[in-house]
Amino acid sequence: MCGTDAPAGQVSTARIRSNVRCFAEETFALWQCASCKSIHAADEVDLEHYYARYPFHGQQTSFAVGLAYNGKLRELESFGLKREHRILDYGCGGGVFVQHLRAHHYTRASGYDAYVKEGPYAEEPSGLYDVVLSQDVIEHVDSPRAHLERLIELTTPGGLIVVGTPNAAVVELAHPERYIHMLHQPYHRHVLSAAALESLAGSLGATVLKVRHGYVGNRAIPGLNGRYLLRTLHAHGDVLDDMVAGKVIWKWELFSPGALWDFFTGYWNDPGFDMTMVLRAPGQPNGAGA
């Protein structure tokens, strides 16, 4: 990502298990660039095999998901999203957020996901979009550069591109278990640092308008914050499946003083593991985000 050649002794390495239940017995190798801090998967894997049982493809909406998406929508509106815009959610999974947008009168919202094999989200997008969203996708692809180039190709000149992804710069690879959900093996192939993503965007002619650090679902509502989510995942064995399916099992450790503190105050103490970067595509703005 940064073009730096580092001696082997300066490159951090680790092995980490998967945070998906059916693959939790498998471990995967990672390495971290000493220069830009981006983290890369070292193992070649059969991604079709792992995505065939990917829990997010069965994600269901819920009251809590709706609240989180309301906050995400308000943030997008602050970036310049308008109801008349043609919107693409690139890497939409089962399309839950697309459905949320349409329910809130964003009738020109559509989605695409390369790992959805049939239905409305399996069709490769065409034409140009005023706003292109890409939440937790760029870290999944073989080439972040090619992915961002594709997003730019799909965006009207001067339109908005909103990229949400983990920030590798906060990871201490010497303690990989602390970051098991950011590393999300074997699905995350390249986890970029904020500096690496900004540099990549600039090299492709995009302008960085804003970088927000923090969990995309963070809300000032008790329990709807990144810190308490991590506690809940830990109580579930640090696997994603039950949370994605909406099957939260309440355990005593979630009522400890520390857990209750995070339940009520986590919004103001986000660990900063994630970032949202708002980009303007090359060219003259057409009104999106102006």
The CATH number assigned to the domain holding 195 equals 3.40.50.150
Total domains, the chain: 1
pLDDT value of residue 289: 47
pLDDT value of residue 286: 60
Whole-prediction pTM value? 0.91
Per the structure block, which two tokens stand in for 61?
Answer: 């909406």
pLDDT value of residue 89: 97
Residue at 269 is within a domain: yes
Residue at 287 is within a domain: no
- The one-digit pLDDT tens for each residue of the chain (290 residues) are 777 776 656 688 999 999 999 999 999 999 999 889 999 999 999 998 998 888 876 666 677 778 888 888 998 999 899 999 999 999 998 898 999 999 999 999 999 998 888 888 999 998 999 999 999 999 999 999 999 999 999 999 999 999 999 999 999 999 999 999 999 999 999 999 999 999 999 999 999 999 999 988 888 889 889 999 999 999 889 998 877 766 767 788 889 999 999 999 999 999 999 999 999 999 877 654 44
pLDDT value of residue 251: 82
Residue at 286 is within a domain: no
Residue at 2 is within a domain: no
For 86, the domain range is 8-280
Residue at 290 is within a domain: no
Q: How far is CA 18 from CA 104, 184, 186, 210, 233, in A?
A: 36, 6, 7, 32, 13
DSSP secondary structure string for all residues of 203-248:
HTT-EEEEEEES-TT--SSTT-SHHHHHHHHHHTTS-SHHHHTT-P
Residue at 17 is within a domain: yes
What is the separation of C-alpha 120 from the centre of its chain, rounded to a whole number of angstroms?
22
Residue at 167 is within a domain: yes
Residue at 285 is within a domain: no
As a whole number of angstroms, the distance between CA 207 and CA 130 comes to 15
